[in-house]
Amino acid sequence: MSTRILFISLLSLALIAISGSVALAQQSPGENITCPLDKEVPVGQIINQLEYTNDQILRQLQSIDDAAVRILQNGKSLTELTAGCQTSNCNSDCRSEDVPTPCNGTPSTSCTPGYTCTYQSTVPGSSAPNTSCTTLPTTGSMTINPSGYYGLFGWRENSGYPCNPYDCPDSSFNPNAYYCTTGDNCVYQNYTHTGQEIISGGYSRQSCVNLPNNLSINASSTYAIYQWSGVHGAGWCNVLWPTTTCYDTCYNEGGCSVDWTCTTQVCRQDACSGQACNFTEISAKMNTISQSTQTIRDSNQAIIDIFDKKVAELPLLGNICQIPGIGVVCDFCDIFSLIFTGCKTEIETILSLLQKSLTNVKDCWNDPADYEKIISGEKSGKFLMSCEELRPGVLKECYPNNFFCCK
């Protein structure tokens, strides 16, 4: 970058040399003045554009310098901030807390007299039943701790009670006490609990006590079976077995629970608060450094563009190819076709103006031997005149501080 800045300085010196040449070539012309537009020496345009370009470069350099200072300052602050990071800035603590756990061993309990309890399992409180075995046979409610533990039991009465009465054969009945009618001999064979079997088994439906009378069969009743023989002939008969009432044995039973919750102490860590570092300030410094770094990149690119980027126009003067009188040729270069070889960089375009100025100053040179004849009017000469001197007579308008080679 320093080489390019030096180039700008040398360009300025060349411009000073042109200005000196203009001053030497500038003379007092005669009355009839002819000033061709293609012989313009654009000193004023070069000076103004060069000042503008120099100003842009200086502004970008100043921006780079300011950004570099910010980076250094924030880098130093960032170092100080990170050096201040301490674990002691964080607030953390733990506390002892009782946590419900199942007690050791197997839960046990004593039911009320006449009942037996059998341990089944241990469950968390949220699913434990709400009956306590210690209050049997009267069911009692128990408050359930959702985080507690409970032993589950099945309970049952030790002795039952009669229930569900039903008909059954009378055990006091003696089938041998029944006799056949006179002349018959009845022998007890067996009995069945189902009257239907007597029917389907082919037995006679007669009673031995009143043979040969018919007997109505009750399909659910029990009968004594006899084989008889006598004057009437051998055969089978049955006798209705007397019934009595029997009962099932029932028991009170169900489920219950016993609180089986013990506690153990654990250390609970509280949520960490505070910050080991001032991350808010650190983040702000990092953002500033990042932004300043981007500023340096952008400014550096802007300076590079001045020297390297092809342009169709100058920032101050516009498209110099379209300025009448200067005569700078920019082959096929316009704002829409920057890829053509005729386009130049900003610096190259300024140099084109400079070259034009040097050429036109050189073309305006007079042989010193002709000075006397030129002054006396015997011979015509060339003279550099500023646009201000040529207005409003010869030229209607011109760029301030530009010169023309006039005859």
Tell me what pLDDT residue 176 has.
76
pTM: 0.47
**CA 210 to CA 207: how far, in whole Å?**
6
Tell me what pLDDT residue 17 has.
45
Q: What one-letter code names the amino acid at 179?
A: Y
Tell me what pLDDT residue 339 has.
47
Average confidence (pLDDT) per 10 residues, the chain, 407 residues: 47 48 45 78 90 93 95 92 82 79 86 86 84 66 83 90 91 77 77 75 68 71 79 71 91 87 83 80 92 95 91 81 66 50 78 86 85 79 87 80 89
Cα of 210 vs its chain's centroid, Å: 102
DSSP run (H or E) holding 226: strand 223-230
DSSP run (H or E) holding 303: helix 279-308
Cα of 59 vs its chain's centroid, Å: 43
Cα of 242 vs its chain's centroid, Å: 88
CA 174, 180, 186, 189 torsion: positive or negative?
Answer: negative
**CA 218 to CA 347: how far, in whole Å?**
133
**CA 187 to CA 225: how far, in whole Å?**
9
Tell me what pLDDT residue 13 has.
42
**CB 134, CB 155: distance < 8 Å:** no
**CA 108 to CA 152: how far, in whole Å?**
10
Tell me what pLDDT residue 301 has.
94
**CA 328 to CA 331: how far, in whole Å?**
10
Tell me what pLDDT residue 62 has.
96
**CA 407 to CA 404: how far, in whole Å?**
10
